[in-house]
Amino acid sequence: MIYRILFSLLAFLELSTYTLAAGVSKTTNGVYLVIDGRRHAASVPKTNSPIQFDDPLVFKPFCDTTKMELAYPVDPAFGVNIKMTDATGREVHKTNIGKRFGSKFRKLHNFNDTRLYPYDTASSYNDESGLGSARPFSNYPLSADNWLAPKDLFEMKGPGIYTLEIQMQMFYDNPQSTNAWHEDLLQFPPVKIEVEMPPSKKSNKP
């Protein structure tokens, strides 16, 4: 009950007005995923520039044809795979928090393998509709103040442009499914987003 109340509150927070250059997955089963960053300062307008290393990450699923009911793992160990490379293509080490993300990604098979949270798809994504009611990437156990930015997930030790790759998986309602819950697992193709660490920022520590 506490988790449901918490996420209900998070869902109503305004996240659409000041989003940055979004990463959009390929469509799978009619659904696609948009992942973006949100600046803390409300005066920052939309841009096509890379998200900043300290921008909290948010996500939202969309479907152009109909509304679909999804359910995503509350624990990012089951639901979110992450990877980052620097400008030279070298893989960036994860922080202790980042190491949890995706650590049980391949162990998610059934609807009751972990705690899930419902999330209905929105209609088509565009610059006008934005990411209102997008959900944040959070640590686990959950709290309202632990929204995570790239710097929280990776040891970004120097200025430059990094490439963040995120893959998520969720369950979707499938009446034709043969399992007892009529829910099948949907894996979104990875989403790549550019992340900038400005020269003036100090290195992040694990």
Please choose, from the candidates 191, 192, 183, 193, the residue with its C-alpha nearest in 3D space to the C-alpha of residue 29: 183
Give 10-residue mean pLDDT values along the chain (206 residues).
43 42 88 82 52 93 91 95 97 96 95 92 73 85 78 95 97 74 86 92 53
Q: What is the pLDDT of residue 144?
A: 59
Can you tell me the distance from the alpha carbon of 187 to that of 167, in angstroms, rounded to the nearest whole number?
A: 8
Most distant CA pair in the chain: distance in Å? Answer: 55
Tokens coding 60: 């939202």
Q: What distance in Å separates the CA atoms of residue 5 and residue 11, rounded to the nearest whole number?
A: 10
Rounded alpha-carbon distances, angstroms, from residue 18 to 7, 14, 15, 159 = 20, 9, 7, 23
pLDDT for the residue 6: 45
Q: What is the pTM of this model?
A: 0.82
| The pLDDT value given to residue 183 | 82
